[in-house]
Structures are given as structure tokens and as C-alpha cells.
Amino acid sequence: MLNATANFFTRTGFTWFVPFIRLAQGEDPREQIKSILTQIGVPVVALVVFLMGWHFLASGVQTSLGAIPGPAQVWDEAMGLIDEHHAERQKEVEFYQRQEERNAKILERNPQAELKLRPYTGKPTYFDQIVTSLYTVFTGFALGTLVAVPLGILCGLSRIFQIAINPLIQIFRPVSPLAWLPIVTLVVSAVYVSTDPMFEKSFIVSAITVTLCSLWPTLINTAVGVASIDKDLINVSKVLRLSWWTKVTKIVLPSSLKLIFTGLRLSLGVGWMVLIAAEMLAQNPGLGKFVWDEFQNGSSHSLGRIMVAVFTIGFVGFVLDRIMHTLQLLVSFGETGQ
Amino acid sequence: MKHHTTSLPRATFSGRLRGVVVSTLIAFGAFAATAHGAPEDVEKPDLKFGFIKLTDMAPLAVAYEKHYFEDEGLYVTLEAQANWKVLLDRVISGELDGAHMLAGQPLGATIGYGTKADIITAFSMDLNGNGITVSNEVMEKLKKKLPLQADGKPVHPIKAEYLKAVVDDYKKEGKPFKMGMVFPVSTHNYELRYYLASGGLNPGYYAPKKGDTAGTINADVLLSVTPPPQMPATMEAGTIYGYCVGEPWNQQAVFKGIGAPIITDYEIEKNNPEKVFGVTKAWNDKYPNTHKAVIKALIRAAYWLDEQNDKNRKEAAKMISASNYVGADYKVIANSMTGTFEYEKGDVRKVPDFNVFFRYNATYPYYSDAIWYLTQMRRWGQIADYKPDSWYMDIAKKVYRPDIYAAAAKELIAEGKMKASDFPDFATETGFKPVQNDFIDGIPYDGTKPNAYIDSLKIGLKGKDEVK
């Protein structure tokens, strides 16, 4: 049982849990404690040194919004954002109550009136912004994957196709989201015309920008993965006279999954990084807009709040990477130990 | 009763449901028409309005927070916009139902200066509220030329003649004097130009026929566009030496210690109209009851802001200092919202009418206000050639819609929410203010004679002049 847990933590990348489990099992206590000290003690000390350095250096820099906030102020701002979140939720409850009362009155006057409960119109809280950002990045990422994986497989299977598409990949891969955004904005405005749109234009603009910037690592890794499949496997498929579709689904995809996931992990990382810039410029709700709005507000809280956002962005990025890493390990079958 | 909620992120409501609601409204149209301004009259209850982070967006915030919108059956989302151009474009494209706009924007759009679109307004959001700020360096030079009070502080208002002396010094050093304003058709652009010209400084002409939209032809002072929230930072970086902008961005310069306001727009033109609430004409034609309901909520909000000698102003300042509205610190916003203005650190003076939201019929859309802005557009070449007086009247009547305002006000009076004495007498009101004599250069303005007024101004295009 304990071994299985240890195995799970190794797989998910939380290797620093493993010594604790070993210790609980009574497996060579001295070795485990030493391992705990290096794996946990060192990062903790580094973190403390970082916080101390930040604390002392921050007060030395005077900006037009006052001194750069230290760790304590940033913590306060984070707590403030949580309080605001609760206050907003309270307002939301009251909003629905008022609406129920109003609708009841309308029904009294006109019993046949068909009414609907309207969603809360208040501001999105910090947590809403995080959720929106995640939703946007995953939409962009999913679109990118849908384009990149099939293209990558074609590249890997056909040398001619690869040669044809290679220059395009090389040219578009390094383009910054800031360059894509104006083009995407104009194209979306021209093409996405609807009187009752499903999605906000700004949402589509940022999602597509994320797609354009993040699909390249997946494309390249998929192509490499497919191209480096064991020749024996391909030969087997020839002997068995598998159809093209069966070949792709039964042989090509499974054997290149590991590299595909390496690509996906890189893509998601790029996507998350690009998203913040895209949201800032497209004014799409989310963490990027939060940072931009705070910068525009220029209040004495703004810098602290922006720093909270910086840590949130970093932390969410880290969690996304861990999730992808775990998925990557899970699909690479017996290769975990390597 | 059907319950539908939508989840994040921002999916709007399905057309099918809206169809049901609309058809219900049509079916009960006869009933609804008799119910006076009942919430179920509203054609489009879900609305999104844009605003720019300035204190004069307050009527929108108040109408939301005090539930005046909800009282009219409106479910409004307020959304800050990046800049005036984005705001206008989004109103035109329909992403926004309406917005807090510069008084010149509906006029500029209608005559096709910049983006061409039929925008109308039935509600003027406030009077005054702007200031002209210069950097510390300019202020220091200015102080050497200024008459001082007994306590050593400069005499206000600081006349533009003194600024001219400073600008001339810069010119001698071969440095062009650069200032910022927020938008080519902004009230700030015209106020700054009016102020500079009153001191003999030419702010430069536009020549749209030749494709010149920079507005710096023959200029003594080079004006450029900077979005309001970036004004202090741009001045701090040295890109501009001063700017004309709404609050809180003048007081912000004082708090940050990077500059000093030299004059408020109240001292340039007493009670000048500042922002309006604009919608597209097509939107108004499609949703007339909705528009009227919005105006009703906004009138109540403006009334609340000025009620009983501004007693609610502190609460209002607190309200709009929230990060989703203006977001600047409360004390910065409160400074001007509560009738004082800080010219330099510690030099706080009373300017009780710095922000006017309701008194003096501030919310009424006067034709003469529209025509004043048109005369300034002509004066600086944005209107490239001579137009007869009747043209000015036609445009003003096309854009400013006191009829919608009056309909909304009358409903409020009928509902007992407001008194008839709170409004102009709608039966006799012509929409033209009496001749105004309160400009800084003393030139009188009669809104019924725009061309005569244009010709009476010293600097600027006159008669059939065109920029060569």
C-alpha cells in the first residue's frame, strides 16, 4: 500500500513526498531524514532568503505609486482580494433576492409574463478572473492541439509534406503574441459577426492568439515522434496490410504519444505565458486585464495587487506544468524509471 | 417563471430565450403601454455600458450601486474601456449598448470627423471637472513670471499670458513645447486650445482635407493624444510638459509630486458641458423604451450626487474608488469630488462647482452646448470649410435629443420620484442658453449665431478661411 503511494508520488512528480513515506515504513531512517533535509530544507531556506532580500530591497525603490510593496503588504493585498471576493458574493445573493422580488411584482401585474432569472451583473472577483483565464487558455490550447497533432502526424509520415510545411513552421514559430493580436482582432471583427454572439469577441481574440502562439511545440514534437517510430512497427503494419486509419490509430499514435505530450506540455506553458499579454491587449476579462486595470488605477494598492497577480500567474503556470508532466508520465507506459 | 443562469465566462443569453421574452412583450403590448414606464416595457433588459476611468463616470456607478437601473428593469454591466477610440468603436459595433462619452464624440462621429457613425445623446453627464497640469519644471519657470498673493502662493486663475512667456523661453532654446490631451474631439482638446489661444498661443490647426489629423499646423504648442490614466506617467517620462485631463489625473500629479495644475476648466469656461451618455441612433430607434429607462436611472443618479448640497459626495467618492470603477485612491478622488482642488501640495482652494452633476440643469442636453463644440471644431480646422448657421442647428438637433430627456423626466415626475421644479420648464425650453459671458477671455457666446461667434474669436479660422 505504502509502496503504491510512493509510486504515485514519484509518477506525479511530487518526489519530495517519497522520503516521508519511506520513513513511515521504517526504511533506513537516517537516509530518509537526510533526503528530507535536502529536498525540503534547502528550498525553504532559499525561499526565506528570497523573502528577506525582497523585504529589504523593496522599500528602497520609490515609484510614483509609493515604495515597492514587500512580502507583508503583498500578503495583505491578497487577503484584501479574498475579502472583496466574499463581499461580492454577498452582493450577488442580494442581487438575486431583489430580482426575485421584482419578478414577483411583475407576475402580480401580469401573470402570463415569462421571466428569466438574469445572471449577476457585478464585477468579476479575482477568483472569477483566474477561472476565466484558465478557460481561455484551455480553449486556445485545445484549438491548437486539434490543429497541431494531425498536422504533426502528416509531417512525420510524409517527408514531402514535412519539407513543404517546414519553412512556414520556422517563420511563424517565433512570432510574438503582440504581433498576432492586431491581425487576429481585425480578422475576428470582420468574420465573427452575429447579433447574439455566443462568445465575447475579446474572448475569441485572446483564445485564437493563444492558439497561434502555442501550437508550434506540439506540431514539431508530434512530427519528430511520428518520424522516429521503430521501422519494425511500420513494417508490421505493411505486412498486416493495415488501412491507413488503423495504422495511425493503432501504431503511429500510441508509439509517439510520449513526444506528443512533451509537445503539449511545452505548448500549454507557452499558451499560459502568451495569454496574459493577449488579455491585456484584447481587454478580455482575466488575469491579464486585472493587471492592466490595476496599472491604470494607479492607487496605493495597485502595485501590491499586481504582485499578487504575478505570484498567481506563476503558481497556476507551475500547477499546469505539473499536471501535464504527470499526464506525460502516465502515457509513457513502462518508461517511468528512465 | 423560468430560471436560467449562465456560467462563466461571459456567455450571453440564448437568442431563443430572448425571442420568447420579446414575443411575450409584444403579446402584452397593449397592457404594457398603459402601465406607465413599467419594467416589462423595456425591450432589452441586459445591457452593457462602457466607461473610462474618470470621476465623471460617477452617474453610471451610482445608478448601478443604488439600484436605479434595476428599478427600471435594467440589468446593466459596467465595463471600463482602454481608451476613447476603443470605447466609441465598441459602441458602434454593438459590443456596448451605450457609453460615457466625451461631449465632442457624438458630434464628431455624426459629422464624420474620425469614425463616421450616427451617435446621439439625450443626457449630459456633468459640467466642468477638468484641469490643466504642468510639470514641476514648467511650474518653477512659470512662478518666476507670476503675480503672487500675500502668502506667496500664485494668484489663480493663472492666465495663459504667463504660460506664453514660458513657452517663448522654450522656443528660444529650440525646444518645442509639448502638451497632452485625451482625444482629438475631446472637451479637453478644445478647452486646452481655448486657454492657450486666450494667451496668444496658437495650438495649431487640423487639415482633414489634406489628411492632416495631427492638428499641429502653425502650432506654438504641440498637442498630442494620451489616454487619461497614462497622463501622469507620460509627463513624468518627459514626453509632454503638461496636459489637460479630467479628474483624478490632475490631483494624481499633485499627490505623486510630479506636477501642478495651473487652472481648472471652470475658470476657462464657467459650467462647461463635459461628458454625455451616448448611444447609436440605430440602437435608440430599436430600443426606445430601454433608452428612456436608462435616462431615467441616470437622472436619478445625477440628482443623488448633487442632492442637499453635495452631501452624498463622500459616499460617491468611496464608491468609485473601487478597483472596478475609477480605482484611484479615495483621498485623491475625494479631493475634487467634495468641492476642493489642490493646486500644489498644501495649496487647497475651494472650487465648489468643480464637479457638477445635476444643478444648473447639468443633465439637460442643450443645443447651444453642442453648437459651442461645433464652433471649436470649425475654429481649429476639424470642420475644414465654412458652414451656414443652419448647418450648426441641424447637426445639434440631430445629435442632442432633449425630447428623450423630457420624456424620461416627465415619467419620473409622474412616478413622484422627482419634482417638476428639478427640471427646466419643458413647455418653454428652447435648448439655447442665454448669451454666455463667462469665458476666460471675456468673449460672449450666443449659440444661435455660431458664425458670428467664430468670427469674434482672435486666433482661429474665420468665415471662409481654409488651412493652406
Give B232-265 pLDDT, tens digit per residue: 989 999 999 999 999 888 998 998 899 999 999 9
pLDDT of residue A103: 85
Size of the A and B interface in Cβ pairs below 8 Å: 128
Work out the average pLDDT over A280-300.
85
CA R_g for chain B: 22
Q: What is the pLDDT of residue B24?
A: 44
Mean pLDDT of chain B: 89
pTM over 0.90: no
| Residue B31: per-residue pLDDT | 39
The predicted structure's pLDDT at residue B13: 40
* Chain B nearest CA to A245, separation (Å): 37
CATH class of B46-127+272-365+401-433: alpha beta
Nine-digit cell string for A206: 485572446
**Minimum mean pLDDT range among A311-315, B40-44, B187-191:** B40-44
pLDDT above 70: residue B352: yes
Sign of the CA dihedral with B347 first, then B348, B352, and B358 last: positive
Of A103, A196, A298, the CB nearest to B252: A298
**In chain A, positions 90-129, which contact chain B (CB-CB < 8 Å)?**
98-99, 102-103, 106-107, 109-110, 112-119, 121, 123-124, 128
Across the interface, of B1, B53, B258, the residue whose CB is closest to A103 is B1
Q: Is the ipTM of this complex over 0.95?
A: no
Cβ atoms B25, B267 nearer than 8 A: no
The verdict on whether omega for the bond into residue B227 sits within 30 degrees of 0, i.e. cis, is: no
- Smallest CA–CA distance, residue B259 to chain A, in Å, is 12
Chosen for mutation from A98, A196, A206, A299 (greatest number of chain B CBs closer than 10 Å) is A299
Is B290:B76 a contact under the CB 8 Å cutoff? no
**What would the pLDDT profile of B16-41 be if each residue is shown by its tens digit?**
444 444 444 444 433 333 345 566 67
What pLDDT, on a 0 to 100 scale, did the predictor assign at position A110? 79
Interchain contact, B8 vs A135, CB within 8 Å: yes
Contact B77, B47 (CB under 8 A): yes
DSSP string covering B235-303:
HHTTS-SEEEEETTHHHHHHHHTSEEEEEEHHHHBTT-B-EEEEEEHHHHHH-HHHHHHHHHHHHHHHH
Higher-confidence residue of A90 and B30: namely: A90
Cβ–Cβ under 8 Å, residues B108 and B256: no
Beta strands in B44-104 (DSSP E): 46-51, 75-80, 98-102
Among A236-250, B117-131, B210-224, B304-318, the range scoring the smallest mean pLDDT is: A236-250
Share of chain A above pLDDT 70, in %: 95
pLDDT for residue B70: 93
Burial B146-167 (b: 16+ CB within 10 A, else e): beeeeeeebebebbbebbbebb
- Does residue A338 register a pLDDT over 70? no
Q: How many other CB atoms are there within 10 angstroms of residue B426's CB atom?
A: 16
In CATH terms, is domain B131-267 a member of 3.40.1160.10?
A: no
Q: What is the mean pLDDT of chain A?
A: 86
Note if the bond before A285 is cis, omega within 30 degrees.
no
Backbone angles phi, psi at A337, to 5 degrees: -70, -15
CA distances from B102 to B58, B108, B378 (A): 14, 10, 17
Closest CA relative to residue B226, chosen from B44, B392, B442, B82: B82
Helical spans, DSSP H, in A59-200:
71-109, 126-157, 159-172, 177-191
Of the pLDDT bands very low, low, confident and very high (cuts 50, 70, 90), residue B227 is: confident
CATH 3.40.190.10 residue ranges of chain B are 46-127+272-365+401-433, 131-267
Q: Are B330 and A297 in contact (CB under 8 A)?
A: no
Q: How far apart are CA B83 and CA B186, in angstroms?
A: 12
CA dihedral over A89, A94, A97, A103, signed as positive or negative: negative
Amino acid code (one letter) for B115? T
- Give me the mean pLDDT over the B163-181 stretch: 94
Residue B153: C-alpha distances to residues B131, B156, B347, B348, B352 (Å)? 18, 9, 8, 11, 20
Per-residue confidence band for B2, with pLDDT thresholds at 50, 70 and 90: very low
Whether residue B36 lies within 8 A of chain A, CB to CB, comes out as no
B57 vs A235 pLDDT, higher one: B57
Express each pLDDT in A306-332 by its tens digit. 999 999 999 999 999 999 988 888 877
Looking at A274-278, B175-179, B241-245, B298-302, which range is the least confident one?
A274-278
pLDDT score, position B1: 43
Return the minimum-mean-pLDDT range out of A192-196, B19-23, B55-59, B159-163: B19-23
- How far from the centroid of its chain's Cα atoms is residue B290's Cα? 22
Q: Return the pLDDT at A335.
A: 53
Instruction: Give the C-alpha separation, B356 to B337, whole Å.
Output: 9
The rounded distance, in Å, linking the Cα atoms of B347 and B156 is 11
Helix (H) or strand (E) holding B317: helix B313-320
Q: How do residues B85-102 score in pLDDT, each as one tens digit? A: 889 999 998 889 999 999
The answer to whether A299 contacts B70, with C-beta atoms less than 8 Å apart, is: no
Residue numbers in A near B92 (CB within 8 A): none
Q: Is A97 exposed, middle or buried (0-12, 13-18, 19+ CB in 10 A)?
A: exposed
Measured between alpha carbons, how far is A48 from A34 in angstroms, rounded to an integer?
A: 20
Residue B402 has pLDDT above 80, yes or no: yes
Q: How many angstroms from the chain centroid is the CA of residue A302?
A: 24
Q: How many CB atoms lie within 10 A of CB B123?
A: 27
- Per the rule left: phi > 0, alpha: psi between -120 and 50, beta: everything else, B361 is left
Q: What SS3 state is found at B134? A: strand
- Which segment of A12-21, A185-194, A298-307 scores lowest on mean pLDDT? A12-21
Superfamily of domain A126-331: MetI-like (1.10.3720.10)
Determine the average pLDDT of the residues in A125-130. Answer: 92
pLDDT for B382 equals 95
> Is A294's CB within 8 Å of B82's CB?
no
How many Å separate Cα A7 from the centre of its chain? 26
What is the pLDDT, as a whole number, of residue B35?
Answer: 42
Closest residue in chain B to residue A280, using alpha carbons only: B82
pLDDT at B388: 96
Residue B134, pLDDT > 70, answer yes
pLDDT level of residue A1 (50, 70, 90 thresholds): low
Mean pLDDT of B374-387: 95
Contact with chain A for residue B142, Cβ under 8 A = no
Q: Distances from the Cα of A234 to the Cαs of A237, A254, A334, in angstroms?
A: 5, 13, 21
Cα(A297)–Cα(A292) distance, integer angstroms: 9
Residues 226-245 of A with CB under 8 A from B: none
Least confident of A57-61, A139-143, A267-271, B138-142: A57-61
Asked if A17 is an interface residue toward chain B (Cβ–Cβ < 8 A), one would say: no
Joined together, the cell numbers standing for residue A73 give 503588504
CA–CA distance, B286 with B94 (Å, rounded to integer): 12
Residues of A in contact with B1 (CB under 8 A): 103, 107, 114-117
